[in-house]
Amino acid sequence: MSVPANEPGNPAHAIFERFLRAGECQEVLGCFVELCQQLGLQGTGLQLYHGLKAALNYWNAKALWSKLDKKAGHKDYDQGTACAGTKCLVVGAGPCGLRAAIELALLGAHVVLLEKRDSFSRNNVLHLWPFTIHDLRALGAKKFYGRFCTGTLDHISIRQLQLILLKVALLLGVEVHINVRFEGLVPPAGKAGGWQAVLQPSSSPLTQYKFDVLISAGGGKFVPEGFKRKETRGKLAIGITTNFINRHSRAEVEVAEISGVARIYNQKFFQNLYNKTGIDLENIVYYKDDTHYFVMTAKKQSLLKKGVILQDKADIESLLSPENVNRDALLSYAKEAANFSTNYCLPELEFALNHRGLPDVDMFDFTCMTRSENAALVREHNGSRLLLGLVGDCLVEPFWPLGTGVARGFLAAFDAAWMVRRWAAGTPPLEVLAERESIYQHLSQTSPDNTNKNITQYSIDPATRYPNINLQAIKASQVRDLYLVGTVE
């Protein structure tokens, strides 16, 4: 006879506790499969969520369900029926793909999420705006990661954020598949067909999945065809990120974070740094998280002088190409900057390792930032329509030292979910697209100061977040070229 799930010593509780604490992507997925098997639960979507809830009703699980129930009870979701019958494919298990998938699941859509990798390895730390902290708390973040935004902390490592969101997505019935790469679209073959995906490996059973909405959250380098990119070329900006092991010692705890020292505000600090070390920076940020994380923008001349960049070159790609960078000099540069900016108070700085097992130091070009011209489009073929939306870095690439990435990424994830809600309600496609573009116009100007102050009221409804938003700023007649009829090139 099987043990009822709420009895002490019930194996399902132990599996669920392991799931809550799991610290690697594959471990999370493994625990979840084990949990569903143990409870004899199948299926996806909110039905699975209700099954889990009914089966796991001991104190720790109940605390999480009450958070998620409160969230799911919001009127925008129509009790999980707003998008019932809508089939979504989300590409990318970065923070924004996962966040969008969660909203779509709450709306009652069938959600399949693909991720080409099988691990979450980014130590780098993301700045959180107050609304993102509130949002993650409401999703039960503290249940998965006890140290989430304790005290005045307003940041989280990318991998921890992905872990939290992956767990929430799974509980809400999102189907997550790792090691699957999205490569393109297959238009419907006949009148009764539906849109499908070209995937790698091509043997994946998901190639048979037919969907009516595609949300692309594949990051800065991945944008599906049909979308045009716009480049903004600013002045040369070379970013360096580095992570050191955090042993959480007393000495480490006492060192103050630097939440953004820009040259214009602190000339003296940067002058001293230059005089004493030869390092010349535009800005530097230091967050104490799972690691000691630093992000800085360095001046080219000082990188040349310190032997980090070997030869000056006109185009930035060749300038920062691996052959033109002395890695050891880069490590020394990053470590010296970290030591100076923390007054040499972080003892024994030792590099954390990246997913390749190498010291976690990277140099990136922020000179040319790209954004998509449009946030969404519709394709129609053989009478079947597909709504495509972009979220996260593939919509707008963020400048990391400003820490706008995940906040604007979440705003766009909510906007995309709102768009899918309107689509599922049968709103004419051009109206859906016009409204989405009207909202998108606001994204690049958003800051914690010019978004609505009442963050507890934020929902996928744009009016709760953007003050005085005009949802008809762009008219349906202006977005006709976003409705593409015919096969994919």
Note the residues at the interface with ligand FAD (CB under 6 A).
91-97, 114-117, 122, 124, 126, 158, 181-182, 217-219, 222, 241, 295, 392-393, 398, 400, 403, 405-406, 409
Strands 376-381 and 384-390: antiparallel
CB of 325 to ligand FAD, least distance (A): 16
CB of 406 to ligand FAD, least distance (A): 5
Nearer to ligand FAD, 94 or 108 (CB): 94
> DSSP secondary-structure letter at 248?
-
CB of 181 to ligand FAD, least distance (A): 4
Nearer to ligand FAD, 121 or 266 (CB): 121
Contacts of 322-331 with CB under 8 Å at 24 or more apart are: 325/363, 327/361, 330/240, 330/361, 330/363, 331/359, 331/361
CB of 73 to ligand FAD, least distance (A): 27
Q: What is the DSSP string of 382-425?
A: TTEEEEEEE-GGGTB---GGGT-HHHHHHHHHHHHHHHHHHHHT
Nearer to ligand FAD, 16 or 294 (CB): 294
Nearer to ligand FAD, 35 or 419 (CB): 419
**Segment holding 126, helix H or strand E:** strand 125-127
Pairwise CA distance, residues 331 & 185, whole Å: 42
CB of 12 to ligand FAD, least distance (A): 30
CB of 151 to ligand FAD, least distance (A): 21
Q: Among 434, 483, 442, 488, which Cα is nearest to 462's?
A: 442
Tokens, residue 427: 């709103």
Nearer to ligand FAD, 115 or 290 (CB): 115
Nearer to ligand FAD, 182 or 244 (CB): 182
Instruction: Confirm if 131 and 455 have CB atoms less than 8 A apart.
Output: yes
Strands 213-216 and 87-91: parallel
Nearer to ligand FAD, 92 or 108 (CB): 92
State residue 205 phi and psi, 5-degree precision: -60, -15
Pairwise CA distance, residues 370 & 379, whole Å: 23
Nearer to ligand FAD, 182 or 333 (CB): 182
Look up residue 190 and give its amino acid: G
Nearer to ligand FAD, 188 or 239 (CB): 239
CB of 213 to ligand FAD, least distance (A): 16
**Segment holding 127, helix H or strand E:** strand 125-127
Nearer to ligand FAD, 140 or 403 (CB): 403
CB of 299 to ligand FAD, least distance (A): 19
CB of 309 to ligand FAD, least distance (A): 20
Pairwise CA distance, residues 237 & 217, whole Å: 25
Instruction: Confirm if 180 and 191 have CB atoms less than 8 A apart.
Output: no
Q: Among 197, 177, 30, 171, which Cα is nearest to 105's?
A: 171
First to last CA, the chain: 58
CB of 66 to ligand FAD, least distance (A): 28
Q: Among 33, 17, 16, 28, which Cα is nearest to 167's?
A: 28
CB of 166 to ligand FAD, least distance (A): 11
Nearer to ligand FAD, 99 or 143 (CB): 99
Instruction: Confirm if 54 and 40 have CB atoms less than 8 A apart.
Output: no
Pairwise CA distance, residues 272 & 281, whole Å: 11
